[in-house]
Chain A
Amino acid sequence: MRRDNTTPPRLADRLLEWYCNPVLLEDLQGDLYERHIRRLKKYGRFRTRLAYFWDVLSFIRPYTIRRDSHRSIRPFGMLPNYLKTSYRSLVKQRLNSLINILGLSLGLSAFVLICLYVNDELKYDRYLPNAERIYRITLSYTSESSSEHAAWSDPAVGPALKLSYPEVEAYTALINEKILVSHGERTFNEEQFFFAYPDFFKVFSYDFEKKGSHTDLEEGTVVLTSKMARKYFEEADPIGQTLLINNQAYQVSGVLKDLPSHTDLKFDALIGTDDLSKISGWTFNYVLFKNESDAATFQPKLDKTFEDTFQDEFEAYGVEARLHMEALPDVHFGSKKLYDTPKSDKNNLYIFSTVAFLILIIAGINYVNISLANTARRQTEVGVRKSIGAYQSQLRAQFLFESLIVCFISLTLALLTIWFFLPYLNVLTEKQISWREIMSPNMSVFLLVTTIVLGMVTGSYPAFYLSSARPVEVLKGRIVLKGKSLLRRGLVALQFTVSIALIIATLFVYRQLQLIKTKSHGYDKDQVMVIDIPGLESDQSMLRGFKNKLLEYPFVSSASIVGFNAWPTADMPVDVYEVEINDSWQLKPFNNIEVDQHYFDVLGLNLTEGRSFNANDMNGRLDVVVVNQAMIKQAGWSDPLQQQVTFEDGATATVIGVVDDFHFNSFHEAVEPILIFPDDGYAEKILLKISAKDWYQSVATIETVWREVMEGQPLEFRLLDEYFQQQYKSEQTLRAIFTYFMAVAMIIACLGLFGLISLYTQQKLKEVSLRKIFGARVFQLFFTLSREFLILLLIAFVVATPLALFSMKAWLESFVYKTALSLDVFLIAGSLILLVSLMTMSFHIFKTLRTNPAKTLKYD
């Protein structure tokens, strides 16, 4: 029919044709057309068309809806029946169902735990409303010999940028210092009190719990976090009260809600100041752009500002420097810079996610494999169902439904497992992931979707395959569907490839950590206490007095007062010196630390030439210096003891000793040149070497002495070993997680193997019985039954080895000292998996071998 103005709306017509039962369609549509024409004469076109839509919609009623001929009239269709048969088949094959559910729930729980971890990591510093517009300004500097990138830059950077460029909406800078804070009777040493520019809250819009009249962080005011407010003021209202910070009065102008745990910039309080450079020449610098897009084109402007304002200073020392910008959300995963906030390794996240995914795949394979191996049992059911009139699509739905049920049971179990293991994950990763996180909308939807996809994917192959059985042949008793052995074998090999690769990787991570632990870093880290020195009121004589008093006790074998970041594992300060390098005088930045004469004893450092400091050197003149071997090597000194090192101000120091190289920092870095100066004037820590066995008694004694000398200050200390472990934290987490993953992967793979071998031995029962009658020995029969799997294992081993080798090589790249990729690791991994799988298989194999052949062959 020709369509013209009088025809009803096409869309409505289509809808009608789609839903309406064909038997009713013709005359109903005719009636509606007639009505439409009639209406058209009375009303406007629009109203008529609208009415037609309404008519079509109002005819959607139970009796008009089209029914596919094979679709059931019952409201839930075959669903109740599927539920019943699924239940029956699960119960009937108890062992296989158990293996499937255990495997899937283990896999899912490992997967979900890692998702929680990754999810938590990705949240870092993204919660601020304008996080995308906040950038951190960092500084890199390069000289001929070294190149560093520091998280800090000059506090004048922010003001300079704001002055020149309108797209900079606000800036702030902050730096912490050790300070003494008191309110009334309460006095504490604080390390996480940051001095900051007044515009801090324009950049970082943290939530206030209580606020005074000022919105800025004005000079002379301090903003506390809720935790600190309670510490100093308990229940009282802190607003307007006074805190003495380094004996200067500051007014509390606000209380922040405690910071969320997903931030690397953790501060306890902010102290307002207009001139940060008085506090430090190096600060964390942040700018807030007006628009997100401003950042993309800003680097040249940053360079320009640097050239105009800061470059001269650096050039004078022969150092090439540059400012960089780093988006706040990227800081957490960025490369670790000097003096940086804590970092996370994005590579670890990738590794964990990959492994979690692989484990889920292994678990899925178990399901597919066992259902494929079970084909023979299910095909009779398929045949019967088909002959009573089931459609193939219905059977597919039935099998998919069954696998969905299995997946959801597994999910429930997995959630229980996670509930149990989450606290351990939190301890391991030093996080506070809440159980409630799983219930968050994103996570729960993600979980549901993952489970449904898992069910669909694992269920689909068996579903499509099994439902294709032809009823006539099945019911005649012919076996129509063979258990697709090639696919099954491939999947088993894949499972074992993943397991073996994980074992190898785990073993290498262990080896590398072992290397780190046992290979000496060149200094003695055991039994060394690192005591914090409070920032103020701890003058030289007091500290020396403390030290000397302690040395009188027999359990203190030596003690050393050290300056800023002068204890191993810390980021050493870097300054520029003029040094004769390869017979020419050059300005270069060098690591330098300031320590007293006992530093070498405490750390057990070995002097190869010259002497270490004596008491006379500790005069604050810094006219002598001890260097390490790396320094000599770099400078090409043939006679180091005659060399001079010149400071910025022209003063010189003579090299009086050479110390053996030691790994001040982790094995991720090579040993760098170090200049060691004698000075205890700017003391930061006291290192104590304790030789006593009774550790607690010693600490108690030290504390008494400390309080006596330091006028009641609390003793705060850590062990050098703690600092040492800290620098390999990421590797230790990796090792722990890999160990668990490896175990989970092996358990799942073995579960699958266990299920498969039980079906396999049943199929081979007759063969074994016959062979037994003909006199085969147990050993031969064992080989007959396990041969297929042993070959698969071999294939998996051959595939896994290069994969593991390749990835471990990449991982070890980040270490200067690498463990050898030695053959024995592969052999250990190979024999481990062989042993475990033989043990897994032996249960069913021996069960089969013990069967009386007469019983099996009786009916043939």
Chain B
Amino acid sequence: MKGTNLGEFEELVLLAVAAMQEEAYSLAITDEINRVTNRNITFGVVHSALNRMEKKGFVISEMGGATNERGGRRKRIFKISAAGKKALVKSKEQREEFWNMIPKYVFDQK
């Protein structure tokens, strides 16, 4: 079904959410993705991806703590949902299947 599919970029964001746990709010996730992938993804793109995935049910969110530099506004902390975990695992299995299919010599021949 269209809409429940996990896109490439969404997978990346979802991985970050799962990895960051309590620190997973939009801005921090953007930073983390950019640090790991060494890309320059904008905040807006990550924000809208999170929003989209929440609608699809891959993440759930709850309001977290506020800090002074946020003007007293709370963070929205994202957590991976059961469906999200399932989608991630599925995606990982699909990839592993391909990995397994690759003959050994492909990587041995350097």
A1 & B72 in contact (Cβ 8 Å cutoff): yes
* Interface 0/1 of B68-110, CB less than 8 Å to A: 0111111110000000000000000000000000000000000
A37 & B69 in contact (Cβ 8 Å cutoff): yes
Closest 7 A/B residue pairs (Cβ): A30-B73, A27-B76, A30-B70, A31-B27, A37-B69, A33-B71, A33-B70
B27 & A59 in contact (Cβ 8 Å cutoff): no
Chain B residues positioned under 8 Å from A27 (CB to CB): 25-26, 63, 73-76
**Nearest residue, chain A, Cβ from B64:** A27
- Chain B interface residues toward A at CB < 8 A: 25-27, 42-44, 47-48, 51-52, 63, 66-67, 69-76
Q: Does A29 contact B (CB under 8 A)?
A: yes
Across the interface, B67 reaches (CB within 8 A) one of A34, A55, A63, namely A34
Q: Does A426 contact B (CB under 8 A)?
A: no
B71 & A29 in contact (Cβ 8 Å cutoff): yes
A29 & B73 in contact (Cβ 8 Å cutoff): yes
A58 & B44 in contact (Cβ 8 Å cutoff): yes
B-facing residues in A28-58 (Cβ within 8 Å):
28-31, 33-35, 37, 55, 58
Q: In whole Å, how far is B1's beta carbon from the nearest beta carbon of chain A?
A: 20
A63 & B48 in contact (Cβ 8 Å cutoff): yes
Q: Roughly how many angstroms separate A249 CA and B11 CA in the complex, as a whole number?
A: 97
A7 & B43 in contact (Cβ 8 Å cutoff): no
Q: Roughly how many angstroms separate A28 CA and B71 CA in the complex, as a whole number?
A: 12
**Nearest residue, chain B, Cβ from A58:** B44
Chain B residues positioned under 8 Å from A34 (CB to CB): 27, 67, 69-70
Contact status of A63 and B76, CB under 8 A, knowing A7-B71, A31-B43: no
Q: Does A61 contact B (CB under 8 A)?
A: yes
Chain B residues positioned under 8 Å from A58 (CB to CB): 42, 44
Q: Does A24 contact B (CB under 8 A)?
A: yes
Q: Does A26 contact B (CB under 8 A)?
A: yes
Q: A30-B70, A30-B74, A30-B75 are in contact. List 9 more A-B contacts (CB 8 A).
A: A1-B71, A1-B72, A24-B51, A26-B63, A33-B69, A33-B70, A33-B71, A58-B42, A61-B44
| Selected A-B contacts with CB under 8 Å, 20 pairs | A1-B71, A1-B72, A7-B71, A26-B74, A26-B76, A27-B25, A27-B63, A27-B75, A30-B70, A30-B71, A30-B75, A31-B26, A31-B43, A31-B75, A33-B69, A34-B27, A34-B69, A34-B70, A35-B27, A58-B44
Q: Roughly how many angstroms separate A63 CA and B53 CA in the complex, as a whole number?
A: 12
Q: Roughly how many angstroms separate A501 CA and B26 CA in the complex, as a whole number?
A: 74
**Nearest residue, chain A, Cβ from B69:** A37
Q: In whole Å, how far is B71's beta carbon from the nearest beta carbon of chain A?
A: 5
Chain A residues positioned under 8 Å from B69 (CB to CB): 33-34, 37
Q: Roughly how many angstroms separate A29 CA and B66 CA in the complex, as a whole number?
A: 12
Chain B residues positioned under 8 Å from A1 (CB to CB): 71-72
Across the interface, A35 reaches (CB within 8 A) one of B43, B63, B66, B73, namely B43
A28 & B47 in contact (Cβ 8 Å cutoff): yes
Q: Roughly how many angstroms separate A31 CA and B27 CA in the complex, as a whole number?
A: 6
Across the interface, A63 reaches (CB within 8 A) one of B25, B51, B66, B72, namely B51
Q: In whole Å, how far is A1's beta carbon from the nearest beta carbon of chain B?
A: 6
* Interface 0/1 of A113-151, CB less than 8 Å to B: 000000000000000000000000000000000000000
Q: In whole Å, how far is A123's beta carbon from the nearest beta carbon of chain B?
A: 55
Which of B27, B69, B71, B72 has the most chain A CB within a 10 Å cutoff? Answer: B71
Q: In whole Å, how far is A29's beta carbon from the nearest beta carbon of chain B?
A: 6
- Chain A interface residues toward B at CB < 8 A: 1, 7, 24, 26-31, 33-35, 37, 55, 58-59, 61, 63
Q: Roughly how many angstroms separate A33 CA and B67 CA in the complex, as a whole number?
A: 10
Chain A residues positioned under 8 Å from B66 (CB to CB): 30
Chain B residues positioned under 8 Å from A29 (CB to CB): 71, 73
Q: Roughly how many angstroms separate A63 CA and B56 CA in the complex, as a whole number?
A: 14
Q: Roughly how many angstroms separate A34 CA and B68 CA in the complex, as a whole number?
A: 9
Q: Roughly how many angstroms separate A58 CA and B47 CA in the complex, as a whole number?
A: 12
Q: In whole Å, how far is B30's beta carbon from the nearest beta carbon of chain A?
A: 9
Q: Roughly how many angstroms separate A7 CA and B72 CA in the complex, as a whole number?
A: 12
**Nearest residue, chain B, Cβ from A31:** B27
Chain A residues positioned under 8 Å from B51 (CB to CB): 24, 63
Q: In whole Å, how far is A235's beta carbon from the nearest beta carbon of chain B?
A: 70
**Nearest residue, chain A, Cβ from B27:** A31
Q: Roughly how many angstroms separate A63 CA and B71 CA in the complex, as a whole number?
A: 24
Q: In whole Å, how far is A21's beta carbon from the nearest beta carbon of chain B?
A: 10
Q: In whole Å, how far is B89's beta carbon from the nearest beta carbon of chain A?
A: 27
Q: Roughly how many angstroms separate A352 CA and B76 CA in the complex, as a whole number?
A: 68
B74 & A31 in contact (Cβ 8 Å cutoff): no
Q: Roughly how many angstroms separate A61 CA and B49 CA in the complex, as a whole number?
A: 12
Q: Roughly how many angstroms separate A59 CA and B26 CA in the complex, as a whole number?
A: 13
Chain B residues positioned under 8 Å from A35 (CB to CB): 27, 43
A61 & B27 in contact (Cβ 8 Å cutoff): no
Chain A residues positioned under 8 Å from B48 (CB to CB): 61, 63
Q: Roughly how many angstroms separate A30 CA and B67 CA in the complex, as a whole number?
A: 9
Q: Roughly how many angstroms separate A29 CA and B70 CA in the complex, as a whole number?
A: 8
Contact status of A33 and B73, CB under 8 A, knowing A27-B26, A61-B48, A63-B48: yes
Q: Roughly how many angstroms separate A58 CA and B46 CA in the complex, as a whole number?
A: 13
Q: Roughly how many angstroms separate A30 CA and B43 CA in the complex, as a whole number?
A: 13
Q: In whole Å, how far is B65's beta carbon from the nearest beta carbon of chain A?
A: 10
Which of A31, A58, A59, A63 has the most chain B CB within a 10 Å cutoff? Answer: A31
Chain A residues positioned under 8 Å from B63 (CB to CB): 26-27
Q: Roughly how many angstroms separate A30 CA and B52 CA in the complex, as a whole number?
A: 20
Q: In whole Å, how far is A720's beta carbon from the nearest beta carbon of chain B?
A: 87
Chain B residues positioned under 8 Å from A30 (CB to CB): 66, 70-71, 73-75
Q: Roughly how many angstroms separate A63 CA and B49 CA in the complex, as a whole number?
A: 11
Chain A residues positioned under 8 Å from B25 (CB to CB): 27, 31
Q: Roughly how many angstroms separate A322 CA and B81 CA in the complex, as a whole number?
A: 98
Q: Roughly how many angstroms separate A31 CA and B52 CA in the complex, as a whole number?
A: 18
Q: Roughly how many angstroms separate A1 CA and B68 CA in the complex, as a whole number?
A: 10
Q: In whole Å, how far is A274's beta carbon from the nearest beta carbon of chain B?
A: 79
Chain A residues positioned under 8 Å from B44 (CB to CB): 55, 58-59, 61
Q: In whole Å, how far is B24's beta carbon from the nearest beta carbon of chain A?
A: 12
Chain B residues positioned under 8 Å from A59 (CB to CB): 44, 47
Q: In whole Å, how far is B80's beta carbon from the nearest beta carbon of chain A?
A: 18
Q: Roughly how many angstroms separate A203 CA and B74 CA in the complex, as a whole number?
A: 74
Chain A residues positioned under 8 Å from B67 (CB to CB): 34
**Nearest residue, chain A, Cβ from B42:** A58
Q: Roughly how many angstroms separate A758 CA and B63 CA in the complex, as a whole number?
A: 65
Q: Roughly how many angstroms separate A61 CA and B47 CA in the complex, as a whole number?
A: 11
Q: In whole Å, how far is A45's beta carbon from the nearest beta carbon of chain B?
A: 16
Chain A residues positioned under 8 Å from B71 (CB to CB): 1, 7, 29-30, 33
Q: Roughly how many angstroms separate A61 CA and B69 CA in the complex, as a whole number?
A: 25
**Nearest residue, chain B, Cβ from A24:** B51
Q: Roughly how many angstroms separate A58 CA and B48 CA in the complex, as a whole number?
A: 11
**Nearest residue, chain B, Cβ from A28:** B47
**Nearest residue, chain A, Cβ from B47:** A28
Chain B residues positioned under 8 Å from A37 (CB to CB): 69
Q: Roughly how many angstroms separate A24 CA and B76 CA in the complex, as a whole number?
A: 9
Chain B residues positioned under 8 Å from A7 (CB to CB): 71
Q: Roughly how many angstroms separate A61 CA and B66 CA in the complex, as a whole number?
A: 25
Q: In whole Å, how far is B105's beta carbon from the nearest beta carbon of chain A?
A: 48
